Structure 1
Amino acid sequence: MAEATQGEATIVGGRYRVMPEIRLEEFDRTHIEAFAVEDMRDRTRSLIGLVARRGRPVRDEWMSAIRRIDQPGLLRTIDGGVVDPGDGQGKRYAVIMERPQGGRVMDWLRAEGQSLDDLEMSRLLLRPLATALKAVHDVRTAHRAIAPDNLYFVDSARTRIALGDCLCGPPGESQPVAFESVERAAAHPAGRGDGGPREDFFALGALFAAALARKVPGTESPEAAADLMLRRLERGSYVALTDRARFGSDVGGLLRGLLSDNAEERWGFEEVRAWLDGRRSIGAMHSTRPQAARAFTFKGVDHSNTMSLATALAQHWREALRVVIEEKLDGWVARAIGDERRGSMIAQTISAGRTDGGAGADATLARVLAALDPEGPLRLRHVSVMKDGLGTLIAVSFLDDDRDTRQALAEMLVEGLPITSLGLVDTNDAQRRRLAQSEMAEFMRLRGFVAETIMGFGLERVLYDLNPTLPCLSPLVADAYPQTVPALLMALDQRAAKAGRGTAPVDRHIAAFIATKLGISYAGALKGVVRQDSEASERLSQLNLLSLAQETQPQVLVPALSRWLVQRLGPVVQSYGAKTTRAWMEKELERAVSTGSLNALRAIVDNPDRRMADDSGMAAARTTHAQLGMAMRRYDETRAARRAEAQHFGRQVAAMVGYTLLLSVLAALTFGSVG
């Protein structure tokens, strides 16, 4: 039985069986493990399964679009789904692809392809890859995984090349820093953002340059990468990435177009196709970053543009704010760069913000850097992220349990950093202004999520909002990889058997996941459901939230989860005053468990009419109790008074009787003596 279960756990699309026992390590990449795959309907096919390592978000929302593409320059994506390789790390996402037969192209170039000249290289690489990228862009996505270790010979004769997978990981994360546009290269690898066609064609140009040189610049060491970045910022990407390379002027013109730091002037498919067809124009070489009339010197390095300086300041965070203030950065931007608008914004930011250290000072510096380099990444302490890369970096920070990065990302949203750079959009550009306004509204919405502290919101709410196909990351269910509400409920039902009474079935991840899937966009909608003012209300809120989730999927019955919840509902039952009501609830809850309906449980313990009747009964009981108490006190008081009166009367009677007896004795003595 166990074998059958494991077999089912490795089948994708009911047809493709990932074989964990057959590793294909030669196809491994960063954060990806490769396995053999069997097509159970056609065992002659040669397939490969790429499984994302634990803790990596994937781009599975693009699977349906990518699998429809059939282009020679792109390895065919067959299918994708969740599998369990049986290595104890739980379920993960797998992409099924055709298996390349000729190895990696860059390995061949270094070992055997030395004789290819520039034009032969362009025919080998550019035409199939440019056409493949065009097909990817036509379905409104970007590849964003163009790297030497992801370029293969499709056939064993090594006549056809193709790009590999683009779904198993955040966009841009696996690309060398030299293959990213200069703005995105300055960001955290997992926060480089979605990008688009222009980013893909920059990477294509960098790949072509690396193939010509048979090496990838900046990969030797972290210091080499930092040096490359500085040269790119100061001299431009084309010069930095082709330094000392020897090739013909025609190829140089092509690379100038592809490696332009101006995204608007960067070559795309049409320009590359024209060049390949013999219409050899030359791309622009200048950078769009205004060069300063006077360099700004920081840490002994002269910076001639704002992005170069912003990158350097972010790398030396603790010193940066003092330098910004003392060196009058706003004046340098206004005069040396010639941008009075940005200079004024920087001056206002410094004047309005805290500059005396601490979190407030961090926010001030972050806003200054956002104004200094509005096209670059958002920067706060050690974190640097593109605006469209926030979602993936938040996901990685949760998956890696990186609390410092999570804190910085939350502060970015609370402080409204994305809005700072958007405020610098050219007011004369109507299209960009409308786009900026739309993005501002989106970030304001996310800011509201972070600012709300109740379960269902916070940074967890942003996490699932920006990553709609991400599975719930709660430790309770993460191994099951639940991506939908039904899958979450079933995962909790399976988890229930191992859960003790002290384990809550709802945490912040589960609450945020459900709130996202149910489209609950404001905290007020949950305040009647998620309450934590007492143990009873907290446990009732867990039932209520899960019940709301099940209402959308009534066919999903969860008897084990029901039992788990009932075992924890003791404080809720005890919160009712009537003994008969509590006894009835306990009996009905036991009866409802077997149905697997959470709404049935909720109807028993959270019925407004029953609660009102119980409250009314308790109020009446309290009133009766008070009245009886008063009556008893009056009775006690009356009895005490009667006792005192009786004692007083008794004393009087006793006195009279005693006096009478005394008179009788005296009379007897008197008459006796006379006689």
Structure 2
Amino acid sequence: MPAHIKEIANELAHLQQPVEFEDKFRLLPAERLPELQSPGTLAIAAASLKGNNSLFALICQKEAAPRFSMIRLMSRVACPVMMTPVGSGTVVFPEDNVRRFVLVYERPSGKPLIPEAGHPVPKIDEEKIIGGVIHNLLPALRELSSRTLMHRAIRPENIFMSSDGRAMLGECLSTPAAYAQPVLYEPIDSGMAAPSGRGDGGVLDDFYSFGVLLAELAMGGSLLKGKSDEEIIEAKIKLGSYGALVGQTRVPLKLMEPLRGLLSDDPYERWSMQDIEMWANGRHLSPKQVPLPPKAVRSISFAGKDYLTAPMLANAMRLNWSESKALIQSDHLDSWVRRALSNDDMGDLIVLAERTSHALATTGSGEDRAVSASIMALDPTAPIIYKDVAVRVDAIAQAIALEFFEPGKVEQFLDIIRMKLSQAWVTSQTRTKPEFIAIIKQIEHLAQNVKSMVPGYGMERAVYAGNEGWPCMSPLVGDHYVDDIKNLLPALENMVASGRIEGAPVDRHILAFALNHMRGNFDALLKRFEDPFNRDVYNGASLRILSDMQKQFGPASLPALSAHMANLLIDSVENFHNTAFRKQLREAVDNATAEGKLTTLQSILDNSQIKDQDQTGFDQAQMIFSNLEAQATWLEQGGLVSDENVRLVSDKTSAVISGVCSSLALVFMTIAWVF
């Protein structure tokens, strides 16, 4: 198993009880099937509840999540020589009450070509290769090509051979695209990319892998045995894939054409499905031999070695970043490209990269961008290279998700997005492709999500916005596989009930995942999450988002989560001034907690209207008390019989008596005049 993929079989040894899945299957975790295990999964027996099909299931891990969008498409393919899922989704295992993702397949009739990666590939007679492998797998390749679906897992241990020598393609959905592929089986640019950054690619990537498989079957053993991944890449760049893999080895004459065609390093010259079918039908083709990169009239010294071609130098710069920055700062690279390679266009791109670095000098990352852009100029076919990151342009979102918790990687991916290195890569291509438009739109969508770094957005949001169906990566959900927001609150309920969450059950990943699936505008609420040390505000905002989730997606009752949030916010009840009101609120909180109603709890504990009413009543009470206190003090100090008060009262009394007398006199005068 590749070192970058976590082994989970031992972690799941405690799973023993059968569990029903989708009302169609019974999973039997006690019966392990290691011969059917894909990297990073656990293979177990399965049975159909409605038939007699012999089945097996793969329990997947969320750290290297399955290809969600491809699962739906592959499940519609009916091809007897390729494994396609008959069931998929999440299921809760009773031993630990943890939700996990499962893929269900029909069991293959054959056995793996080799038991596991690294074992030598058996040599097979050319006629058996043509009949049992090429012709037998043509329907699978045809289905994939016609639907523009990428398998990205064609390798020896994923080929199943029947007793009569007929091949079948294994499954390709349990881990991200090409994540478990050996560098040997990947085209040069995909091999240069990190496993996390290879992406779906295109159907021609599968044809290349198919060509490597045929070469290993024809010659036996392991091609380029003993060489490291970097040595394999260097050999392919230097000699071309066909030259590096086949070399001077005698190849069966009938297989020479397909090997040359499938192993072409130029995707535009690599054999397509039409070419393979034409050859299989007896038509001889003459694959165009892709010329090797032009050699310079003199070498350039870099990192202790001499290089004569631009792609070889670009590959060396990828592996020696600090030395690359020093090379860019000097004028040696531009001079060598123009004089030794006679390539002024490439030189202009390198000069442009240097100028851009000066413009970004204040950000501290200008030199790094210059190196990345210079590598693009030297080898436009290479993936995007930036510091420790090597990623294909269509795999940036996937790489962010897979390497999110790797130290320093998130910052580097953020630089790639903000510096528009994806757009620069597209611009550097000598040939344009229609899919570039969709790729640029995807990158712009990612850029929109990272424009704001407030909780709910940023790189966490890029993970879920850029990868359909990617499970929530928050540590707060533990081992639960939460790819559907309806399962988020039950997972948090389980974690709280088991005592594994102490503070607020909301972090940046929870927010980003939730807001990527929820309806409504929460921008105002997100501001309350900006200061995690202001616990009252943060906890109140957490209750609000959780209650909105329960309102939109259920479940109806969350007693453990409600009790937890009530405990976090109970101090807010004690902050109310009205004693009777406090008692009523405590009773209401207890009732809401017992019912598991976060929405009711939120209306009590995080309700600004109630708080305002209490404060208004308290302010009025304070004012009345102040007035009464002032009057009491005035009386105590003899204010009632003081000279000033007596004079004031006398003046008022005199005025009243004078007014009454004047009125009476006026009345009497009026009566006398009338009568």
Question: Is the shorter-chain TM-score for this pair beyond 0.5, marking a shared fold?
Answer: yes
Q: Quote the residue 2:263 is aligned against.
A: 259
Q: Quote the residue 1:391 is aligned against.
A: 397
Which residue among 255, 264, 285 is the counterpart of 1:281?
285
Q: Residues 642-657 of structure 1: matches in 2 within 5 Å?
A: none
Counterpart-to-counterpart distance in 2, 1:210 and 1:388: 29
Shift in Å, 1:637 = 9.3
Counterpart-to-counterpart distance in 1, 2:120 and 2:210: 22
Q: Quote the residue 1:349 is aligned against.
A: 356
Which residue among 199, 203, 206 is the counterpart of 1:193?
199
Counterpart-to-counterpart distance in 2, 1:77 and 1:101: 16
Shift in Å, 1:94 = 2.8
* Change in 2 beyond 3 A, CA 1:19/1:420: same
Matched, 1:495 2:502: no
Q: Quote the residue 1:603 is aligned against.
A: 603
SS in 2 for 1:204: helix
Counterpart-to-counterpart distance in 1, 2:334 and 2:621: 73
* Equivalent residues of 2:41, 2:174 under 8 A apart: yes
Q: Quote the residue 2:27 is aligned against.
A: 18
Counterpart-to-counterpart distance in 2, 1:103 and 1:571: 64
Counterpart-to-counterpart distance in 2, 1:262 and 1:636: 103
Counterpart-to-counterpart distance in 2, 1:445 and 1:339: 31
Counterpart-to-counterpart distance in 2, 1:113 and 1:438: 42
* Change in 2 beyond 3 A, CA 1:500/1:636: farther
Counterpart-to-counterpart distance in 2, 1:376 and 1:619: 69
Shift in Å, 1:286 = 1.2
TM-score by length of 1: 0.82
Matched, 1:39 2:48: yes
* Change in 2 beyond 3 A, CA 1:293/1:582: farther
* Equivalent residues of 1:334, 1:342 under 8 A apart: no
Q: Residues 9-408 of structure 1: matches in 2 within 5 Å?
A: 10-43=19-52, 45-53=53-61, 55-83=63-91, 90-106=98-114, 114=123, 116-153=124-161, 155=162, 157-218=163-224, 220-222=226-228, 225-287=229-291, 295-333=299-337, 336=341, 337-340=343-346, 341-354=348-361, 361-398=367-404, 401-408=405-412
Counterpart-to-counterpart distance in 2, 1:164 and 1:346: 44
Range with greater deviation from structure 2 (533-542 or 500-509): 500-509
Counterpart-to-counterpart distance in 2, 1:574 and 1:308: 70
Q: Residues 586-601 of structure 1: matches in 2 within 5 Å?
A: 586-601=586-601
* Change in 2 beyond 3 A, CA 1:623/1:285: farther
Counterpart-to-counterpart distance in 2, 1:33 and 1:73: 23
* Equivalent residues of 1:562, 1:597 under 8 A apart: yes
Counterpart-to-counterpart distance in 1, 2:70 and 2:551: 29
Matched-pair identity in %: 26
* Equivalent residues of 1:144, 1:199 under 8 A apart: yes
One-letter amino acid of the counterpart of residue 320, structure 1:
S
* Change in 2 beyond 3 A, CA 1:75/1:444: closer
SS in 2 for 1:11: strand
Matched, 1:561 2:565: no
Shift in Å, 1:519 = 6.2
- Root-mean-square deviation over aligned CA pairs: 3.7
Counterpart-to-counterpart distance in 1, 2:300 and 2:638: 97
SS in 1 for 2:412: helix
SS in 2 for 1:49: strand
* Equivalent residues of 1:217, 1:228 under 8 A apart: no
Shift in Å, 1:139 = 3.5
> Would you say how many aligned residue pairs link Structure 1 and Structure 2?
626
Shift in Å, 1:8 = 7.5
One-letter amino acid of the counterpart of residue 418, structure 1:
S
TM-score by length of 2: 0.82
* Change in 2 beyond 3 A, CA 1:470/1:89: farther
SS in 2 for 1:339: helix
Counterpart-to-counterpart distance in 1, 2:368 and 2:272: 39
* Change in 2 beyond 3 A, CA 1:255/1:296: farther
SS in 2 for 1:261: coil
* Change in 2 beyond 3 A, CA 1:269/1:597: same
SS in 1 for 2:403: helix
SS in 2 for 1:587: helix
SS in 2 for 1:70: coil
Shift in Å, 1:166 = 0.3
SS in 1 for 2:101: strand
Shift in Å, 1:555 = 5.5
Q: Quote the residue 1:535 is aligned against.
A: 535
Shift in Å, 1:188 = 0.9
Counterpart-to-counterpart distance in 1, 2:368 and 2:632: 69
* Change in 2 beyond 3 A, CA 1:620/1:193: same
Counterpart-to-counterpart distance in 1, 2:543 and 2:555: 18
* Equivalent residues of 1:51, 1:95 under 8 A apart: yes
* Equivalent residues of 2:113, 2:121 under 8 A apart: no
* Change in 2 beyond 3 A, CA 1:173/1:570: same
Shift in Å, 1:464 = 1.7
Counterpart-to-counterpart distance in 2, 1:362 and 1:630: 73
One-letter amino acid of the counterpart of residue 404, structure 1:
G
One-letter amino acid of the counterpart of residue 483, structure 1:
D
Counterpart-to-counterpart distance in 1, 2:217 and 2:274: 22
Counterpart-to-counterpart distance in 1, 2:426 and 2:610: 53
Deviations 1:609-650 (A, max 9, x none): 3343334335545655676787789889998xx99xxxxxxx
Matched, 1:482 2:482: yes
Shift in Å, 1:313 = 0.9
* Equivalent residues of 1:257, 1:266 under 8 A apart: yes
Q: Quote the residue 1:551 is aligned against.
A: 551
* Change in 2 beyond 3 A, CA 1:626/1:389: farther
* Equivalent residues of 1:106, 1:214 under 8 A apart: no
Counterpart-to-counterpart distance in 2, 1:249 and 1:17: 50
* Equivalent residues of 2:47, 2:55 under 8 A apart: yes
* Change in 2 beyond 3 A, CA 1:414/1:189: same
* Equivalent residues of 1:472, 1:478 under 8 A apart: no
* Equivalent residues of 2:126, 2:255 under 8 A apart: yes
SS in 1 for 2:226: coil
Structure 1: give runs of 5+ residues left out of the alignment: 644-675
* Equivalent residues of 1:80, 1:93 under 8 A apart: yes
Shift in Å, 1:221 = 4.6
* Change in 2 beyond 3 A, CA 1:439/1:96: closer
SS in 1 for 2:539: helix
SS in 1 for 2:102: strand
* Equivalent residues of 1:250, 1:280 under 8 A apart: no
* Change in 2 beyond 3 A, CA 1:437/1:144: closer
Deviations 1:52-87 (A, max 9, x none): 356321113322322332223213532223356789
One-letter amino acid of the counterpart of residue 586, structure 2:
E
Counterpart-to-counterpart distance in 2, 1:603 and 1:355: 49
SS in 2 for 1:50: strand
